[in-house]
Amino acid sequence: MQFFVDTADIAEIRDLAATGMVDGVTTNPSLILKSGRDIIEVTREICALVPGPVSAEVAATDAETMIAEGRALAAIAPNIAIKVPLTWDGLRACRTFADEGRMVNVTLCFSAAQALLAAKAGAAFISPFVGRLDDIGLDGMDLIADIRQIYDNYGFPTKILAASIRGVNHVRDAAKIGADVATVPPSVLRSLAHHPLTDKGLAQFVADWAKTGQKIDASKLGGGA
Ligand code: E4P
């Protein structure tokens, strides 16, 4: 499973990219607002930090303007994935971009039927929003499973990008189902490495090691090590 980080915060992206775990980045208008940055400038910086796909979302709701905006965003860097909403206008724009050989992420997907349309429109990624479905009492993971089955039935190459991820269990469950990518907020990516028994076990090892009085010292190896 690939991990994308769901943020436009440059400091967070730089920090997390250093772990080697960041395969791409997703942004949206709300994340651009939160960053306080100009979309072109911040997206250019993100693309320079992360070589994988960087999703940048159009702002328009009509196909014609979406296409103009998407081409402008795609000119920022070769690793831009143009993000369009799952509407008929968005699907029309997706088809146009796909025919131009551009990478498209179709976002705001809340049903398997929508995901089927995105695949037929040539999307590189479909973004089902798991957490927002859970918020209204549905099970977002059921949607991931339905899309996986449909895409596998027909051999669609569109990647399932599990979005609106709220915690470790979402990542685990999406991975079990076979989502290709999870886009996660920085806090969730960090939390993937945490387990209380890891902390407890490490504290014990550190304490016991100190009692040995030893050091791991390459100079003791001899033989030119
Ligand atoms: C996906 O690309 C979206 O940016 C994001 O996952 C939305 O998540 P939210 O529901 O936490 O806003």
103-131 residue pLDDT tens? 999 999 999 999 999 999 999 999 999 99
Residue 81 lies in a domain: yes
Q: What is the mean pLDDT of residues 56-61?
A: 98
Q: How many domains does the chain have?
A: 1
Residue 202 lies in a domain: yes
Residue 222 lies in a domain: no
Q: What percent of the chain has pLDDT over 90?
A: 97
- Is the model's pLDDT at 225 over the cut of 80? no
Which residue out of 129, 165, 180, 188 has the highest number of ligand 1 atoms within 8 Å of its CB and is therefore the one to mutate?
Answer: 129
Residue whose token pair is 């479905």: 133
- pLDDT tens-digit map of 6-31: 999 999 999 999 999 999 999 999 99
CATH number at residue 141: 3.20.20.70
Measured in Å, residue 129 CA sits from the centre of ligand 1 at 7
Tell me which residues have their CB closer than 6 angstroms to ligand 1: 6, 26, 28, 107, 127, 129, 131-132, 163-164, 183
Residue 129 lies in a domain: yes
- pLDDT tens-digit map of 177-215: 999 999 999 999 999 999 999 999 999 999 999 999 999
Residue 86 lies in a domain: yes
Query: Which range marks the domain in which residue 131 is found?
Result: 2-212
- Is the model's pLDDT at 50 over the cut of 80? yes
**H or E element in which residue 54 lies:** strand 54-57
b/e 50-86 (16+ beta carbons within 10 angstroms → b) = bebbbbbbbebeebeebbebbeebbebbebbbbbbbb
CB atoms within 10 A of CB 164: 22
pLDDT at position 211:
98
- Is the model's pLDDT at 66 over the cut of 60? yes
Q: What is the mean pLDDT of residues 74-84?
A: 98
Helices 140-154 and 112-120: angle between axes, nearest 10 degrees:
40
**H or E element in which residue 224 lies:** none
Residue 42 lies in a domain: yes
Measured in Å, residue 182 CA sits from the centre of ligand 1 at 11
Residue 53 lies in a domain: yes
Residue 221 lies in a domain: no
pLDDT at position 222:
79
Instruction: Grade residue 223 by pLDDT with cuts at 50, 70 and 90.
Output: low
